Amino acid sequence: MSKKPSVAFLTLGCKVNQYDADAMRAVLDRGGFRVCDAQEFADVYVINTCAVTAEAERKSRQAVTRILKINPEAEIYVCGCASQNNFSQFARDGVKFIAGTKGKLALAEELVKKYGGEDDGYFDKIVTTDFATASAYEEFRGTLSMRTRHYIKIQDGCNNFCSYCIVPYLRGRSRSRSLDGILREVGTAEISCKEIVLTGIDISSYGKDIGASLADLLTSLQSCSLRVRLGSLEVGVIDENLLDAAKGIKGFCPHFHLSLQSGDDGVLKNMNRRYTTEQYYGKVELIRSRFPDAAITTDVIVGYPTESDAAFAASAEFCKKVKFSDMHVFPYSSRKGTVAGKLPTLPSAVVAERQREMTAIKHSLSAEFRLAQLGKPTEVLFETKEDGLWCGHAPNYVKVYGVDGARNTVATVTPTALYGDGIRV
């Protein structure tokens, strides 16, 4: 193999993983490596894994097999949540090294050393011991993104310990990035992109460990020339202070992804979600009082172990009441090591039927929201071409299709009809 092999990244899971991969990609790009797409033939592959569900972990394992079909001689390096959770599942032919959620930047830097003639033995063997989670925010030195929308990681880890979630055990406690570090990256992003997305494992907790808040960060971004979008939020962070700070950003995108998980108070309590449906709905009304055309999206888990037929019905009715613009519907996935992981699961047929019913509600609500957008001029950031049409997203994250467009440009258009998963000009 040449000293500067081609390197591909295969990233599963959340936007934080995407950001981490972008940071590793930047290290290798600066080191003179050819960084290519995950589906291309490459000499070296880095798999950034996910473990939020059993299915995500399974796909992470399958990634090794997929890569070896592309290049049977490939060197594979694994990191992320799935390897943090169970490193041994990746100890197989082709895998040269396994890391966890900590030290991803070090992994990239060691690859630069290895193929730059400065091998210090870091990769001499596959790691075969448990990994410690990070205790401080790991600051990266720039990213190399292949997207028009630039993710900016502001926080990592989580302190919530929801009963079903394994992420806090894998990512560690919540830790915030410095405001200066964030603003430096925003300044860099302004050179090449039109929109930034503030992302993290729990961005609602941003600043609590450094004497700041998410509202403080948004206030600092009020002179930003880009569109500014928020990642997933917890209900408790929504207040007048936060919304006022958001409203002060000229390019703020009125899209609020408020994690719900269940629309039944009993199930919410069992999940350790720390709010009621009444409190949740009150925050939705507060958002709409400040941003009347805001899109409010959410995550809903169906088939939680304590979800009765009545609880599921209550959850479905609550989703209709809120009138979400879109919903991510997930069947409950039992995760060993969590509180809920000790509970007996519901019959798979019951869970599947509830997923079908909730997904039907999702489609109905989405169509209703998209219909309401027709005839309204909106600014669209065009990103890709699909089926011969340019497509991108409006500020409220509705997908918009049009005949005219260009990658990484913003244009004002007036949608006139529903089209596929969005609307079109």
Residue range 139-151, pLDDT digits in tens = 877 787 767 789 9
* Alpha helices (H) along 271-347: 277-290, 309-322
The pLDDT value given to residue 106: 87
The pLDDT value given to residue 127: 64
Which CATH number does 147-253 carry?
3.30.750.210
Mean pLDDT of the chain: 93
- 233-261 residue pLDDT tens: 999 999 999 999 999 999 999 999 999 99
Which CATH number does 259-372 carry?
3.30.750.200
Q: What is the pTM of this model?
A: 0.92
The pLDDT value given to residue 196: 95
For 6-114, the fitting CATH number among 1.10.1760.20, 3.40.50.1820, 3.20.20.70, 3.40.50.12160 is: 3.40.50.12160
The pLDDT value given to residue 39: 81
Tell me which of 52-56, 159-163, 188-192 is least confident: 188-192
Q: Which residue has the higher pLDDT, 164 or 406?
A: 164
Cα torsion for 395, 401, 405, 406, to the nearest 10°? 70
- 314-368 residue pLDDT tens: 999 999 999 999 999 999 999 999 999 999 999 999 999 999 999 999 999 999 9
